[in-house]
Structures are given as structure tokens and as C-alpha cells.
Amino acid sequence: MSQRVEKINELIKREIGQIIRREIEIPENSLVTVSRVRTSSDLKEAKIWISIFPVKHAQSLLKEFLKRAGYFQRLLNRRLSMRYIPKISFILDNFEEKIGQFEDILDETDQS
């Protein structure tokens, strides 16, 4: 991956994180984090992985993010001064959930 694409990934990650923090109502006692961004080499598409805690809110919040992707896109277009802004899509990052399940399994085997 080129250094330019890496910089764009970080820029999009930061801006989407700020948009989520300032513009989107998140249920109380919930946390949404932009865990990573992967932009295509032609800069036409950007996949944004988000982590949502607690996990019970993950599917409903992901649906809301997908529904409002156009709104996120417009805000991102206003914030970034690039010739082409990649089209964004959201993906649920359940890496931490899998780690938690793995830790639960390890705890169960330790107790046996």
C-alpha cells in the first residue's frame, strides 16, 4: 500500500471518528470506534470498520450507519479538501468480540 493511501486512510479514520462523536447520537453507555480504514488504490472506495460496544447494540447501530452512509459521505466531502473523495461503506469489526469469546473459552479450561 502506498504511503499516500495510508495517509488518506488515517485522514478518513480521524474525520469519520469526529463525525461520529459530534454528529451521531449513540445510545447511552455505548461506544463506537473506527478501528481501521482501507481505501482502494484508485481512491474510489473506502471501507470503514467500526467496533461497537456493548455487542448487543452492534447490529442496530450498524444498520443505522449503513442507512446514513450518504449523510456521512456529504459531511466527509465538506471536511476533506481532496479532488476525489472515496465512496465510503461501513463494516462491523467484531475482532474484539472474538477475542472476548476466546478469553471465555480459556477461562473455562483454566477452571476445569
Q: Which helix (H) or strand (E) holds 74?
A: helix 69-79
Question: Would you place residue 42 in the very low, low, confident or very high pLDDT band (cuts 50, 70, 90)?
Answer: very high
Q: How far apart are CA 93 and CA 69, in angstroms?
A: 17
The domains of the chain are located at: 3-111
Q: Answer whether CATH 3.30.300.20 is correct for domain 3-111.
A: yes
pLDDT tens-digit map of 64-102:
999 999 999 999 999 998 888 899 999 999 866 565 655
CA dihedral 17, 21, 26, 32 (to 10 degrees): 30
Q: What is the pLDDT of residues 2-33, one digit of tens each?
A: 899 999 999 999 999 999 999 888 888 889 99
